[in-house]
A = this chain, B = another copy of it.
């Protein structure tokens, strides 16, 4: 046989579903590696910096401060806009909603989660979720719109109450930010502003259950100082259009109801393997599922040495993405897969302006202004893109300096 017929070494085709923290980290690790062809699939053309979604929801940041083009984030990778809905494991193809198929040698599912209402009646119809920019804009529109509607006499003043369901970091940050937005609107709506309020409902015994008890009580105290009414140890039994029913029989009237109590991985991937609570796919300790398929981030479940599932946070997804990138190359090179070891980065939540709780893996805990500054620096550092960083810093600086002077952003359409 002549040399000319020798098949050129085929590039390894890696397809990554999801342009979140895990998917982007995985793609970046693979870029520039020889003979690797990376395609990233997402329904949105931007990487969303979801830790700041609550600030878009509460009129602190404009929406595109926290969106960064996928193509720019992973230059050298292919970007395919679309919604992945199935895997043809035999043909090794990913199937998109529009019928398109993408062949892969390795498939990385970094699909994240969506809201999970645990079957509580009325959540889907009456509560707002906060998983996408569109939903964050919807919340902002609802928060600001109720002021307009109450001012115009179309709604009763009770509509100025916002109920946030779920006392994890998202619910705590959101409740604090809503309370501060309400204070920010007090000048433009002086005749009705005193009717406004925020209720935060957590079914468990304390806020921030993944944090220490000390951090929980700090968060509780800080939220109370902002005027948030906190309900712990009480569940939600039903959500109506203008009210939330609690398990102890109390009824909380509300103009805006936000669901931050639970998430689940998209159901469509559950058929690929064994799942745990929240549709999380059980992976082996290398993050491998089977047949060239890997699952990283919130959609996967791996337990640490103590048997606890790794938390659904960005550092787990990013470390998982980089780990899987390396393992894909090892498998190609005929090497064994290595075990994934999560390096704990600690956790943090901010509560309004100038307050936060931070827990470092060495046991150090910060509260108050130092915690808030740490939170702020870390979020700016991890934002993708110089423009977004500059823009967020300028917006935060202005919000901070002009507090009580300038009006909040009030674009509602």
Name A residues whose Cβ lies closer than 8 Å to a Cβ of B. Answer: 44-46, 62-65, 67-69, 71-72, 75, 80-82, 133-134, 144, 148, 152, 187-189, 385-387, 390-391, 394-395, 397-399, 402, 406-407, 409-413
**Can you list 8 A-B contacts with CB-CB less than 8 angstroms, sorted by A residue number?**
A45-B410, A63-B411, A67-B411, A68-B407, A69-B188, A72-B406, A387-B409, A390-B398
Chain B residue at minimal CB-CB distance from A64: B411
4 closest A-B pairs by beta carbon, nearest first, are A72-B407, A71-B188, A394-B394, A64-B411
Grouping DSSP codes into helix (H, G, I), strand (E, B) and loop, the A interface class, with mixed when no group exceeds half, is mixed
The answer to whether A80 touches B152 (Cβ under 8 A) is yes
Q: CA A385 – CA B188 in complex, angstroms?
A: 14
Chain B's nearest CB lies how many Å from the CB of A406?
A: 5
Q: CA A402 – CA B68 in complex, angstroms?
A: 15
Chain B's nearest CB lies how many Å from the CB of A89?
A: 25
Chain B's nearest CB lies how many Å from the CB of A411?
A: 4
Chain B's nearest CB lies how many Å from the CB of A186?
A: 12
Q: CA A148 – CA B42 in complex, angstroms?
A: 12
9 further contact pairs, Cβ within 8 A, besides A45-B412, A75-B187: A45-B144, A45-B148, A64-B409, A72-B406, A75-B188, A134-B413, A387-B399, A390-B394, A390-B397
Q: CA A65 – CA B63 in complex, angstroms?
A: 11
Give chain B residues whose Cβ lies under 8 Å from the Cβ of A402: 386-387
Give chain B residues whose Cβ lies under 8 Å from the Cβ of A72: 187-188, 406-407
Give chain B residues whose Cβ lies under 8 Å from the Cβ of A144: 45
Q: CA A133 – CA B391 in complex, angstroms?
A: 20
